[in-house]
Structure 1
Amino acid sequence: MDILKKYIGNIIGLLLILLCSKSALKQFDKQVLSIYFHNPSLPLFKGIIRFLIAKGFSFISEDDYYKIVEGEKEVQGRTAFVSFDDGWKGNLKLIPVLKKYKIPASFFVPVRSVITGNFWWEFAPIVIKENPEYTSVEELKKLPNHERLSLIRDVSSRHVLKRSCIDLLELKRLSEHPLFSIGSHTYHHPITIKCSDAELDFEYCESKKTLEEWLDIKIKSFSYPNGDFNQRDIALLKEYEYQMAFTTEPDLDNGRISVYQIPRVSINSNGGTYENIARMLRVWHKFVQPLQQKPLLGIMPTLIGS
């Protein structure tokens, strides 16, 4: 089913690109194309980058993006910003591509995963197996933060997984390269709207403090885990002097962007190149997602994903 879903998604994406790419690309003459990855394959990543280069995009750093959002700098032609969430070890195989094309990139990492080697949701299948009242990761995300953490800690204390997050030495090497920036992705990667005030304060304060001590740099940027945030989050960003924060919202236009709500388009690691190009151009959101909300004969979500 996953292979079929990817194949169908790619066909739909290719059709959308053929029909809409010329008009869709015009929007990026005046606004930045902001994209983020989790753990893409090397072929997918190369395909995305090569498309952008072929279409005349240049790439900017988070410092340049900040200046654009603040109105200190104008968008000069088609411009893209590239970032990565979580700090997957698989991201390291993409570094030669970034270096080859001199592409700046920001990496948003949760501190605890760098220490332990894994992300909390990797233990979710075991939690679900041992606790039948939970049937999915999404259900675990809805729990109060302390309840979810307790379940994860119990399982992780009894099970060892292969490291999937970059380690501290690898993180330091990234931070030392002039093309790359490191940002906070909280301490434990919680669902922040499910945190108590004290828990949330810890996530913002300690993640920044720890990264700065580890890397001997100033942490300026932040990425909201799971894309969730509210006014508590923004208040803490200001209190702990984060310069900017990135959302998972793709459809904000330049007139509505603030430094703490910078849009990004998610690249689907399980999708094909054409599907993801359609996502980047925002035609996927325009034409495919409405079908998912009103599924044809109940099969569209299953066949084309989210």
Structure 2
Amino acid sequence: MFIDRFTNFIRYEKRYSVHTLTAYSHEVQRYIGYLTEHEIDINKVTHRQARAYLAALLESGQRPVSINRSLSALRTYYKFLMREGTATHNPFALVKALKTPKKLPVVVDKKKLSALLDMDGVFPDTFEGLRDKAVIELLFGTGIRLSELLQIQEAHLDFYNNNVLIFGKRNKQRLVPLNRTLAALLQQYIKEKKEQCFNNISDNLIVTKEGKNAYPTLIYDIVTHYLGTISPQQKKSPHVLRHTFATALLDNGADLNAIKELLGHAGLAATQVYTHNSVERLKSIYKQAHPKA
């Protein structure tokens, strides 16, 4: 019911990311299927029925974090229906989210990562090798999200001031500094990109070997491959590099508010999770170094 209009609503008015757009659409479609199966009118769902739906998801094996995503999606959907005049109330408005265990951000050893990026012969001496190195350096050197990386255009780079304009969640803009090594690498990459003489070359900074816009799976494959050479850990996503960036800054004395601005967090609470990693690191050092530990 109104799925296309709802999708346009969260895409153009709420300015949600593509990932959120896909997830919310899926959640709403699943909910509508449930109501159809149980012959429940979408405009007459009660608070109790809303809770029963989420309970059914939990019983089916869904994790609390997934249940909370469903809750968020359906709250937004009913707000949309009320705005359209097709619903008189939001049955999910007073439903409480489930408690989820807090997980420490997964990081990689920053010394090993730095050594990987500085080592000769790791990245092939080709356009793709140069692009792959630019991807890893950008994610680790700026802490940007995967979705933000894919939106960077060459025009967003300012090599005079050594910064890059980032479009974050809900299209919120921020400037992120580039270190000299990264700036030089990007200039080299852009030069090589132009020399490839692609047909209809994309304005986006990161492209495929055919010169088309890069896509999430490509970035995942690049990051997974190279992180796999220095770390046996299971999680090797682009977000791990974001976590590593933030933790490295914190370990070296950066102000928490400054890290918040660099990461594009709306509030300080999301940034504070990195302090736990630093505390754990200090505990580890203490246990190894103190005679009474």
So what's the TM-score if we normalise by structure 1?
A: 0.22
Greater RCO, 1 or 2 (C-alpha within 8 Å, sep 6+) = 1
Q: Which structure dedicates a bigger proportion of its chain to strand?
A: 1
TM-score, L = length of structure 2 = 0.22
Larger radius of gyration: 2
